[in-house]
Amino acid sequence: MEYSRGDKIKVSYGTAIELGLIKGIMKDPPTTGYFFVMINKCEGKCKFCLQSKEPSDMISRVIWPEFNIEDILKKPLSKFKRICIQCSKENNIISKVINFISNISNIPISISTSPLREEEMILLKKMNIDIITIPIDCASKEIFSYIKGENWDYYWDSLEKALKIFGREKIGTHIIVGLGERECDIINILEKCKNMGIIPSLFAFTPIPKTELYNLKRPSISSYRRLQIARELIFMNEDYEFSYDNNGRIIEIKANKNILEDIIEKGEAFMTKGCPNCNRPYFNESPLGPIYNYPRKPRKEEIDIIRRELFAEGLKISYK
């Protein structure tokens, strides 16, 4: 499938630097190459995203300049451990995606998209796409319909269908912390994903100028740390207990002492989670911090900061 000369796609700033498409230095380079495919304009209505307002070079707080596909394909894509294609919500978007990915080989590819038709998913499976991600973004049905203006059940049905075609742990979703949900809602979604075989990726809400949610605050870093530990315990199949206050906030985590100590000390729980080798550097935060998702293993001094953040709101830890 050929792309026509001059066909363009967007490339995340860090990916463009890594490929030498633009000059610059990345503090923590991306280990995955991030691309955004759009035809005219995204038809999605996500209140946190500028693309729902107008075609823009911004996704979250990152700039995504546009390049010709032929120029991108001349670059050393193999330096990445994974390629991630983010898709705008448009009819036939998959044909443009296929025009690009049919020229890429020997690198695992993830596609992040709104729900697709079954035959489209089967076609992507035949093209050896590694992981399909259908971002649910919101942790409850009410917040989902308010923020995304779409059908919650339809999205879960689409995840089920994708699971049947791609299999367990080959389907992902994104969950944004800080859209008005309670921590216990996030835990419920994480446990549901675990049971279904879906890889959930945590994002921290990022206020973007000109979007409807620009005045909403970022989630508390302490809350985000509690949820990262929770995600780790759930996906490690550990024996855990979470206690909540009346607002559904985690006030106590109960689990094995060594496991909990290890999780904090090792720091991997506080890194970007999702498809293997996805690190999305500074997608939700400035490198000046606070860092919600570390794009690499936190250093010793950062573990000390993480520990302070974790206990800053009085979290109790007890042992099983």
Contacts with ligand SF4 by CB under 6 A lie at 32, 82, 84, 110, 112, 133, 172, 174, 201, 274-275, 278, 280
Taking the least distance from each CB to ligand SF4, the nearer of 190 and 255 is: 190
Taking the least distance from each CB to ligand SF4, the nearer of 110 and 222 is: 110
Indicate the SS3 state at residue 218: coil
Distances 305 to 220, 250, 290 between C-alpha atoms, Å: 14, 20, 9
Minimum CB distance to ligand SF4, residue 176 (Å): 12
Using CA atoms, how far apart are residues 102 and 110, in angstroms rounded to an integer?
A: 13
Taking the least distance from each CB to ligand SF4, the nearer of 84 and 253 is: 84
**Beta-carbon count within 10 A of 7 CB:** 14
Minimum CB distance to ligand SF4, residue 86 (Å): 7
DSSP per residue, 152-200: HHHHHHHHHHHHHHH-TTSEEEEEEETSS--HHHHHHHHHHHHHHTEEE
Q: What amino acid is encoded at 184 in this protein? A: C
Q: What amino acid is encoded at 143 in this protein? A: I
Minimum CB distance to ligand SF4, residue 261 (Å): 28
Minimum CB distance to ligand SF4, residue 82 (Å): 6
Using CA atoms, how far apart are residues 53 and 15, in angstroms rounded to an integer?
A: 24
Minimum CB distance to ligand SF4, residue 178 (Å): 17
Taking the least distance from each CB to ligand SF4, the nearer of 56 and 272 is: 272
Q: Which residue is nearest to ligand SF4 (CB)?
A: 274
Sole residue written with tokens 């070079």: 57
Taking the least distance from each CB to ligand SF4, the nearer of 175 and 264 is: 175
